[in-house]
C-alpha cells in the first residue's frame, strides 16, 4: 500500500505511538496529564519559532439561546489579562517583543487559541498562555470595552457575501438544531437584549468558562527546540492545574440534523451584495469523520469536482459557456451531522439555466452509479490514495503557527496515532462510497441560487445580516426529472444536449513515479563582465557594480545570530559545496539567444525532496503601456489559464501547480511540484502562450465577463482594502487604476484583439528564468531552452534587452512638510465602515540599510502598542495595523484602521495622538534590554529559514523579477539592525514621523455609510474625477475644520493622475544589465 511506505511509527516515551512521514525529522510524544488534558509535544531542533495551541471542545453550538455569540465573546476576553499576568496586553506584548504573534477562532464545536514566538522565549509564552485556562480575569471594564471589538468584527462582515450566505443557511435550517444559531454576536445580542432581559453577560461569561473550559475537553500542542523531556516537564508544571470538571462532550439534544425534510426539496433564492451568479446543491449526510481511513467523500469529490475532459465543469465551461468554476466536497463534518455540497460559479448565461445545470450534475452522478455502481472502482480509489501518500511522504515541515493550531484541532477528532497521518487513505470500502452516492438524490437536496436579478422575487430578510431572499418548494415534476435513475439531460434543449459529452476521468498520467534526488552538480557560473558586458547605469537608476553581483553569487548570507542579537557573522563559504545551505543564492549560468535572456539556477541541497520550482519573467514593453494594454495582458494570461484547465487539472491533483500573473513589466510564469513531471507541465504552459486555439471568441466573452465582474465587485470590498489599494496607486507608477482598466475592458469586443496583442507581446518578449530544487544545471538549461523555443522565432533574445524592456517601478516622492489627503465616500452605500491608511514616507532604503534597520525596529516596537491603544483601549475598530510599507525599495511607516465608530478625520486624530503618546511614553523610556529584545525579534523574523523549495523561490525570485539582484542585502540589513541604537530610532521617529514641518505624510481615507452624510454636508457639491469615475468631495476649506491644527501644509488630491504627474519620482531601484 502507498501509505505504508510514507510513514514511520514511534512513541518516544509517550503514552501512544505517533505516525509521522518518513521525511519528517521532528520528534513527537503524546501525553495525558493527571487532569486528563491530552497533549502532543513536538521537538524540532532546527526551528526558529516555537509555538503552542489549545483547542477547547466547545463552540457557538453551546451558546445559550438568549445570548448568541457568547462563546466567541469569551474567546476575545481570554486575551485581556489573567490573575498571574493582570495587564491586558501582557500576553500580546510579550509575544510581539519576542518575534511572536497570536490568534484564535471560534467554530461550531471548538475554540482554538494559538501562538508562535522566538524559540528562546517559549517558556515565558507558555506560562502566560496557560493562565488563559486557569485564571482569566474577565474584568468588568475590559468586558464592556471588548464588546465593541466583537461588534466591530460583525460590522466588518455585514457586506461580505460569504458570511451572509453562511448565516442564511444557518438561519433557515432546523430551528431545533444549534446549527441555526448566530455565531459571531454583536452589541444587540451581547449587551442590549440581555440587559433588557435582566441578564448579566459577564456572569454568563464566567459561568460558560467554568462549565466548559475543563481539562478533559482540551487538547494542547507544544512545539519547541527543547527536548521532548524538557517540553513534557514544562507542560506538566504549567498546565496540570487546569481544572477538570469531568464535563461530558456537548450534547445538543436534537435527533435530527440541520437539514430535515422541512428544509429539503426546496430552493433558496438569494440577493447577494456583489455581482455573483452561484448555485449550491447541499445534501445532509451522517458524520463522515469516522471514515477518514476510507475516504468515501474524497472519492466522490475527486470525480464530481474533476476539471478534466468530460467532467461537469468541462461541459459547463468549455462546451456550454455556463460556468466558470465548480467545487465539490464535504462542506461540514461535525460530530452529529455532515453536509455534502457542490458549488458552481455561473456565467450570466448560465444562471438562466439553473435547472439544466443541476440536471447535468445529476447526469454525471448517474455515470458513477451506472449499472451496479460501475463508477465505483478500486483503481480510482488507489489514485486518490497515492496522491495523498505522495503528499504526506514529501510534505515539508509546517511553520509552527499553523501546525500547532491544526494539530490541536485534529486531536479532538482522531486517535493519537493518526493525528499527523489522518489524510492517508488505508482501506477501500465500496459500500461506504455507495452509501454516500445514495444520499445525493434530488429529493434530499437543498438548492441555493444567488444573483442580484432575484431582487424582485425576494420576500424575506435574514435576521442578522439583512440578506434578502425567498424560499420555494421544488416542483415534483422537476425533482422527478432530475432523478439519476432516469435521464436528467432531457431538460436540456436538443442543441445543448447534443453539444455535451460527459464521461469519467481517465487515469492520471501526471502521478510521479521517479522520486530520485539528483546528485549535486557544481554549476559553472558566468562572469558578468565577460558574458553580458559591464553593468550600465541609466537615468534615474542605481547602477550595480560587478563586485556586488559576484558577491551575491559567492557569499553565504548569514551564518547565525545569537539570542540577544548582539553577534552577527557573515560566512564566506564556497557556495557550490554540497551542503545544506538555504542561504546560498542562485547563480547566473546562461545568457544569450538560446535561453532568450538570462538563466539563474540553484540545485537544492537543503530540503532533499524530489521537487522543483521555476519562475520565468516574460518582459515586454507591450505589457503595460496604458490601461488598454494592461487589460489585454490580463485577458491574455486569463485565456491561457482557462484553456489549460482541463489539461492541468491532473497535474494539480498529482502535486504540481502553475500560475500566470501580470505586473507592469510583463508576465510572470511560476510552476512547481514533483520534479519528475514538472517540465512536462511547464512545456505545455509555454506552448499554449502561442496557441491560437486559446483565443476563441466564446472563451474571450466568458473571460471578459468574469473580469468585468471582478473589477466591479472590487467596489464592494472592505473600505480598508480600498484605502490600501488607492494608496498603492497614488504612490506607484506605472500603475493604472481599476476604473481606467474597467473602461478599457468594456471597449474591447473581439478575441482577435487579444490574439494580436499576444503576438506582439511574445515577439517583443525577453526571458529571465530561475530554476530551483531537484534539477541539475544541465536540466535547468534544458528547461530554459525549452521555454525559449516556444516563443516566436523572431522574439528578442538579447540579454541587454531583458532590462531595457522594463521601465522599472518608480515611487512618488511626497513633499517635505506637506500632508497629502485623498478622501472619499465609500462606493458601497450599505457599508457602515470607514477606514484610513496613513503613510509616513521615509525614502529609498535599498542602498541605505541603516535607515531601513532603524525603521524596521521602530515599526516592530510600535506595532503592539498601536493595536493595544487604538483597538483594545479606544475600541476604534476590529482592524488595526501598523508596520513597515515598502514600495519598490521606498520605505514608510503605515497605520491602517477600519472603524464603524469613527470617520477618517477622527481616525487621523487618534492615530496622531497615539504616535505622540508612543514617542513620549514608550520610545523615550525604552530600556536597552527591551531594545535588544526587539532587535533580536526583527532579525530572527528576517532570518527564519525557508521550509520548502517554494518558500525559497519566494525569497529569490523578487530580486530577479524586480531586477535588483541584491542577493546579499539581507546580510547588510542584519548587520545594520545589530548596530542600531536607541538614538537612531528616536531620531528617525522624531524627524520623519512627528516633525510636521519636515515629514512626508499621505492620508487615504474612505467614509462609510455611518459617516458619509456628515461628509457630504460639510463638503458641498461632488465633483467627478476627470481621470476615473470616482466622486471627489473635498474642498479644502470645509475639510480643514475637521483636521488637527498642527500648522502643516495640506495638499488635497483631486486626481491621482495629476498628483503623480506633478510630483518627482524616486530613482528606480532596478539595475540594468
As a residue count, the chain comes to 1073
> First vs last Cα of the chain: how many Å apart?
53
Here the cell at position 674 is 514533483
Q: For residue 777, give the 3-state DSSP assignment.
A: helix
Backbone angles phi, psi at 397, to 5 degrees: -65, 125
The Cα–Cα gap between 219 and 555 comes to 45
Give CA 609 to chain center in angstroms: 25
- CA-to-CA separations, 130 to 84, 405, 411, 553, 709, in angstroms, rounded: 10, 15, 18, 47, 48
Here the cell at position 148 is 465593541
Q: For residues 624, 627, 633 and 637, what is the CA-based torsion angle, rounded to 10 degrees? A: 130
Q: Which of 38, 48, 75, 169 is catalytic?
A: 75
Q: Answer yes or no: are the C-beta atoms of 75 and 372 closer than 8 Å.
A: no
Q: For residues 21, 26, 32 and 37, what is the CA-based torsion angle, rounded to 10 degrees? A: -100
The Cα–Cα gap between 35 and 235 comes to 12
Q: For residue 224, give the 3-state DSSP assignment.
A: strand
Closest CA to 880 of 861, 863, 893: 863
Q: Tell me the DSSP string of 589-655.
A: EEEEGGGTEEEEEEE-SSS-SSEEEEEEEEE-TTSSSSHHHHHHHHHHHHHHHHHHHHHHHHHHHTT
Residues β-bridged to residue 835: 898, 1006
- CA-to-CA separations, 538 to 543, 546, 618, in angstroms, rounded: 7, 15, 21
Closest CA to 453 of 268, 323, 322, 277: 277
Whether 687 is catalytic is no
Count of H-run helices and E-run strands, the chain: 36, 33
- CA-to-CA separations, 479 to 204, 312, 353, 447, 683, in angstroms, rounded: 47, 19, 16, 11, 46
Q: For residues 460, 462, 468 and 473, what is the CA-based torsion angle, rounded to 10 degrees? A: -50
Backbone angles phi, psi at 807, to 5 degrees: -70, -30
The Cα–Cα gap between 312 and 306 comes to 8
Query: In 10 A of CB 1001, how many CB atoms?
Result: 24
E strands, 765-833, in order: 766-773, 810-811, 818-825
Here the cell at position 489 is 439531460
The Cα–Cα gap between 409 and 890 comes to 41
Q: Answer yes or no: are the C-beta atoms of 1060 and 732 closer than 8 Å.
A: no
Closest CA to 391 of 928, 93, 76, 7: 7
Closest CA to 221 of 390, 47, 507, 420: 420
- CA-to-CA separations, 698 to 234, 275, 719, in angstroms, rounded: 63, 21, 35
Which residues are within 8 A (CB) of 583 and not within 5 positions of it... i.e. 6 or more apart? 556, 557, 558
* Matching residue, cell 507542560: 235
- CA-to-CA separations, 758 to 63, 333, 620, in angstroms, rounded: 57, 46, 11
Active centre residues (catalytic):
75
Amino acid at each position: 500500500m502507498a501509505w505504508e511506505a510514507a510513514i514511520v511509527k514511534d512513541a518516544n516515551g509517550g503514552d501512544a505511538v505517533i505516525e509521522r512521514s518518513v521525511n519528517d525529522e521532528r520528534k513527537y510524544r503524546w501525553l495525558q496529564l493527571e487532569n486528563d488534558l491530552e497533549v502532543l509535544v513536538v521537538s524540532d531542533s532546527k526551528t526558529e519559532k516555537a509555538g503552542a495551541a489549545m483547542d477547547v471542545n466547545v463552540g457557538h453550538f453551546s451558546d445559550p439561546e438568549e445570548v448568541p455569540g457568547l462563546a466567541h465573546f469569551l474567546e476575545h476576553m481570554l486575551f485581556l489579562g489573567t490573575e498571574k499576568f493582570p495587564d491586558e496586553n501582557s500576553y500580546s506584548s510579550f509575544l510581539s517583543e519576542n518575534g511572536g504573534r497570536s490568534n484564535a477562532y471560534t467554530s461550531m464545536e471548538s475554540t482554538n487559541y494559538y501562538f508562535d514566538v522566538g524559540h528562546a522565549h517559549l517558556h515565558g509564552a507558555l506560562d502566560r498562555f496557560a493562565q488563559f485556562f486557569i485564571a482569566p480575569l474577565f474584568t468588568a471594564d475590559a468586558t464592556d470595552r471588548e464588546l465593541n471589538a466583537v461588534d466591530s468584527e460583525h460590522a466588518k462582515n455585514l457586506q461580505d457575501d460569504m458570511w451572509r450566505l453562511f448565516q442564511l443557511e444557518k438561519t433557515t435550517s432546523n430551528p431545533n438544531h444549534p446549527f441555526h444559531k448566530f455565531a459571531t454576536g454583536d452589541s444587540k445580542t451581547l449587551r442590549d437584549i440581555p440587559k433588557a432581559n435582566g441578564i448579566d453577560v459577564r456572569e454568563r461569561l464566567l459561568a460558560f468558562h467554568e462549565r466548559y473550559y475543563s481539562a478533559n475537553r482540551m487538547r494542547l500542542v507544544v512545539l519547541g527546540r527543547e527536548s521532548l523531556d524538557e517540553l513534557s516537564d514544562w507542560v506538566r508544571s504549567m498546565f496540570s492545574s487546569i481544572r477538570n470538571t469531568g464535563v461530558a462532550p456537548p450534547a445538543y439534544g436534537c435527533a435530527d440534523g440541520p437539514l430535515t425534510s422541512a428544509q429539503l426539496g426546496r430552493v433558496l433564492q438569494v440577493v447577494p451584495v456583489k455581482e455573483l451568479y452561484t448555485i449550491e446543491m447541499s445534501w445532509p449526510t451522517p458524520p463522515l469523520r469516522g471514515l477518514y481511513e476510507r475516504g468515501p467523500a474524497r472519492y466522490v469529490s475527486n470525480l464530481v469536482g474533476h476539471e478534466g475532459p468530460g467532467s461537469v465543469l468541462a461541459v459547463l465551461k468549455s462546451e456550454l459557456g455556463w460556468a466558470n468554476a465548480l467545487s465539490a466536497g464535504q462542506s461540514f463534518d461535525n460530530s452529529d451531522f455532515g453536509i455534502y455540497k457542490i458549488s458552481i460559479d455561473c456565467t450570466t448565461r448560465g444562471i438562466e439555466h439553473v435547472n439544466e445545470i443541476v440536471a447535468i450534475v445529476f447526469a454525471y452522478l448517474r455515470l458513477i452509479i451506472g449499472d451496479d455502481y460501475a463508477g465505483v472502482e478500486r483503481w480510482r480509489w488507489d489514485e486518490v490514495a497515492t496522491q495523498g501518500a505522495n503528499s504526506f511522504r514529501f510534505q515539508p515541515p509546517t511553520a509552527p503557527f499553523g501546525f500547532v493550531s491544526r494539530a490541536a484541532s485534529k486531536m479532538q477528532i482522531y486517535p493519537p496515532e493518526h493525528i499527523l497521518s489522518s489524510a492517508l487513505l488505508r482501506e477501500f470500502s465500496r459500500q461506504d462510497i455507495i452509501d454516500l452516492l445514495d444520499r445525493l438524490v434530488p429529493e434530499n437536496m437543498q438548492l441555493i441560487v444567488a444573483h442580484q436579478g432575484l431582487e424582485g422575487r425576494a420576500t424575506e430578510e435574514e435576521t442578522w445580516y439583512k440578506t434578502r431572499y425567498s424560499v420555494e418548494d421544488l416542483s415534483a415534476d422537476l425533482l422527478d426529472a432530475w432523478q439519476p435513475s432516469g435521464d436528467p439531460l432531457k431538460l436540456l434543449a436538443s442543441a445543448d444536449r447534443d453539444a455535451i459529452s460527459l464521461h469519467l476521468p481517465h487515469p492520471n498520467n501526471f502521478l510521479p513515479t521517479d522520486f530520485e534526488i539528483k546528485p549535486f552538480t557544481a554549476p559553472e557560473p558566468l562572469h558578468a563582465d565577460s558574458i553580458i558586458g559591464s553593468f550600465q547605469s541609466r537615468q534615474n537608476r542605481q547602477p550595480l557594480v560587478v563586485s556586488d553581483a559576484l558577491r551575491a553569487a559567492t557569499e553565504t548570507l548569514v551564518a547565525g545570530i545569537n539570542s540577544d542579537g548582539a553577534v552577527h557573522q557573515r560566512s564566506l563559504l564556497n557556495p557550490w559545496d554540497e551542503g545544506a545551505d538555504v542561504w546560498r543564492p542562485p547563480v547566473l549560468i546562461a545568457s544569450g539567444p538560446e535561453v532568450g535572456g538570462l538563466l539563474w539556477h540553484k540545485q537544492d541541497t537543503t530540503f532533499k525532496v524530489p521537487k522543483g520550482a521555476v519562475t520565468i519573467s516574460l518582459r515586454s514593453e507591450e505589457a503595460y503601456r496604458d490601461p488598454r494594454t494592461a487589460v489585454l495582458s490580463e485577458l491574455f494570461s486569463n485565456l491561457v489559464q482557462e484553456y489549460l484547465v482541463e489539461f492541468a487539472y491532473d497535474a494539480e491533483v498529482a502535486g504540481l501547480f502553475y500560475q500566470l500573473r501580470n505586473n507592469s513589466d510583463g508576465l510572470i510564469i511560476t510552476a512547481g511540484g514533483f520534479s519528475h513531471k514538472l517540465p512536462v507541465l511547464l512545456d505545455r504552459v509555454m506552448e499554449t502562450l502561442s496557441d491560437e486555439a486559446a483565443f476563441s471568441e466564446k472563451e474571450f466573452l466568458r473571460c471578459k465577463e468574469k473580469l468585468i465582474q471582478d473589477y466591479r465587485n472590487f467596489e464592494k470590498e472592505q473600505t480598508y482594502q480600498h484605502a490600501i489599494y488607492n494608496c498603492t496607486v497614488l504612490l506607484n507608477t506605472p500603475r493604472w487604476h481599476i476604473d481606467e482598466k474597467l473602461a478599457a475592458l468594456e471597449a474591447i469586443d473581439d478575441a482577435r484583439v487579444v490574439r494580436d496583442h499576444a503576438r506582439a507581446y511574445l515577439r517583443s518578449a525577453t526571458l529571465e528564468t530561475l530554476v530551483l530544487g531537484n534539477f541539475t544545471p544541465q536540466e535547468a538549461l534544458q528547461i530554459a531552452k525549452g521555454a525559449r523555443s516556444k516563443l516566436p522565432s523572431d522574439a528578442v533574445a538579447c540579454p541587454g534587452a531583458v532590462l531595457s524592456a522594463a521601465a522599472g517601478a518608480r515611487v512618488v516622492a511626497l513633499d517635505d512638510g506637506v500632508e497629502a489627503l485623498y478622501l472619499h465616500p465609500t462606493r458601497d452605500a450599505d457599508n457602515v465602515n470607514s477606514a484610513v491608511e496613513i503613510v509616513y514616507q521615509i525614502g529609498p532604503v535599498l542602498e541605505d540599510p541603516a535607515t531601513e534597520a532603524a525603521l524596521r525596529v521602530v515599526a516592530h516596537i510600535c506595532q503592539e502598542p498601536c493595536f493595544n491603544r487604538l483597538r483594545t483601549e479606544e475600541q476604534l475598530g476590529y482592524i488595526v495595523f501598523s508596520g513597515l510599507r515598502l514600495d519598490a525599495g521606498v520605505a514608510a511607516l503605515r497605520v491602517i484602521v477600519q472603524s464603524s465608530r469613527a470617520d477618517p478625520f477622527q481616525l487621523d486624530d487618534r492615530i496622531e495622538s497615539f504616535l505622540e503618546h508612543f514617542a513620549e511614553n514608550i520610545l523615550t523610556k525604552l530600556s536597552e534590554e527591551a531594545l535588544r529584545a526587539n532587535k533580536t525579534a526583527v532579525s530572527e523574523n528576517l532570518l527564519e529559514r525557508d521550509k520548502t523549495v517554494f518558500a525559497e523561490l519566494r525569497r529569490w525570485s523578487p530580486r530577479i523579477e524586480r531586477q535588483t539582484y541584491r542577493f546579499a542585502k539581507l546580510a547588510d540589513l542584519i548587520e545594520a539592525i545589530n548596530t542600531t541604537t536607541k538614538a537612531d530610532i528616536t531620531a528617525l521617529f522624531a524627524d520623519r514621523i512627528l516633525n510636521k514641518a519636515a515629514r512626508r505624510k499621505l492620508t487615504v481615507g474612505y467614509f462609510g455609510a455611518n459617516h458619509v452624510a456628515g461628509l457630504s454636508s460639510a463638503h458641498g457639491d461632488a465633483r467627478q474625477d476627470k481621470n476615473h469615475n470616482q466622486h471627489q468631495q473635498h474642498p479644502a476649506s470645509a475639510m480643514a475644520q475637521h483636521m488637527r491644527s498642527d500648522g502643516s501644509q495640506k495638499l488635497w488630491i483631486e486626481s491621482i493622475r495629476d498628483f503623480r504627474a506633478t510630483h518627482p519620482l524616486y530613482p528606480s531601484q532596478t539595475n540594468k544589465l
